[in-house]
Structure 1
Amino acid sequence: MAEDGSKEGATWPMPKFRFEVDLGTELKGVAFQEVSGMDVENQIIEYRKSNSPLFSTVKMPGLTKYGNVTMKRGVFVNDNTFWNWHKEVTMNLIKRRTVLIKLLDESGKVTMQWQLDNAWPTKITSTDLKSDGNEVAVDTIEIAHEKLTITNGK
């Protein structure tokens, strides 16, 4: 008989469709359609020891590199939050923020959190417009950051 997960101690992978994003002081709990690009990579340093009898290199971890995070959300009336943040960057007044991406459980509690430190917008793509379409208007923002920290809920 198949397990229904009702007995104590049963664990299931978390669904990824319930999440919220905190973009800073006035931007808490923003609903997004999609968040992607939360990746980290260590560059590889290859070298060969001068006294090594093998004709091959040794690989060691180098600098850590963080990918840009892309977020998509619906366009709302009189909401220019993305554009105002990006405008600060173009005027050389980069306002870096701590961005929190929170994965929620069925009761709305945080189960996992991704923290992007010193984040700022690098690119905004506005929605496409079609006279024969019936989709929701969606803006896309790409955010650069200097560190990604993952924590579990409490």
Structure 2
Amino acid sequence: MAEANKPVAGGYYPPVGFHFRVVFLGLGNDNDQRFQSVSGLNVEFDVETVKEGGENRFEHKLPGRAKYPDLSLKRGLLKDSSVIAWCRNALKNREIEPATLEVSLLNENHDPLITWKVFNAWPRKWSVSDFNAGENAVVVETLDLCYSYFNVETS
């Protein structure tokens, strides 16, 4: 049996994807940090193609601007939420107040391993799951956010 402090085959286990926290900086309470899922933390380049005269075998592909998709957050419906109040104010009154948020992947001690700091996020869409008397399911709210960019910080 392997000792607790000795590395095992490979010496490294990748982090789990179910232990994370979402923090809206300057907004929200402890309940507003708990989400069921987060998606949309990726970035890609637009590609511009250039055709060179006399070169018919290929087109040159050059990197353009970076594109960030919408960030989608899902969780069980909360009646009292500062984040949803912020979202409703934006959607109902068109008072858009961009926010900064941090999505942190946590280790077994609840400390951040990697943090995605998302800048200038604003609510694009808020929805709740369907109601169905034939299912035994929790009502899930989904918050879709547009944002400018993110930085990745490791500890």
What is the correspondence of 1:80-119 to structure 2 with a 5 Å cutoff?
81-119=83-121
Amino acid across the alignment from 1:147: Y
In the other structure, the counterpart of 1:12 is: 13
Following the alignment from structure 1 to structure 2, what is the Cα–Cα distance between the partners of residues 4 and 145? 46
* Cα 1:70–1:5 shift into 2, 3 Å: farther
Identity of aligned residues (%): 25
Aligned to 1:39: 42
Conservation of the 8 A alpha-carbon contact between 1:99 and 1:119: yes
Deviations 1:7-51 (A, max 9, x none): 15932100111101012313255100011111111000101234x
Unaligned runs of 5+ in 1: none
TM-score by length of 2: 0.85
- CA shift, 1:6, in A, is 4.1
User: What amino acid does structure 1 have at the position aligned with 2:23?
Assistant: D
Offset of residue 92 of structure 1: 3.1
Per-residue CA deviations over 1:63-84 (Å, capped at 9, x if unaligned) read 1110001110111233363254
Q: How does 1:49-88 map to 2 (within 5 A)?
A: 49-50=52-53, 53-55=54-56, 56-79=58-81, 81-88=83-90
Displacement of 1:120 in angstroms is 0.6
Equivalent pairs, count? 150
The letter of the residue matching 1:111 is L
Matched residue SS, 1:7 = coil
RMSD over aligned Cα, in angstroms?
2.3
Q: Distance in 1 between matches of 2:52 and 2:45?
A: 21
Go from structure 1 to structure 2 and tell me whether the alpha carbon gap of 1:73 and 1:4 turns closer, same or farther (over 3 Å shift). Answer: farther
SS, match of residue 25 in structure 1: coil
**TM-score after normalising by structure 1:** 0.85
- State the Cα distance separating 1:149 from its structure 2 match: 1.2
Q: Please give the alpha-carbon distance, in whole angstroms, between the structure 2 residues aligned to 1:106 and 1:67.
A: 29
Alignment correspondent of 1:145: 147
For residues 15 and 135 of structure 2, the distance between their equivalents in structure 1, rounded to whole angstroms, comes to 34
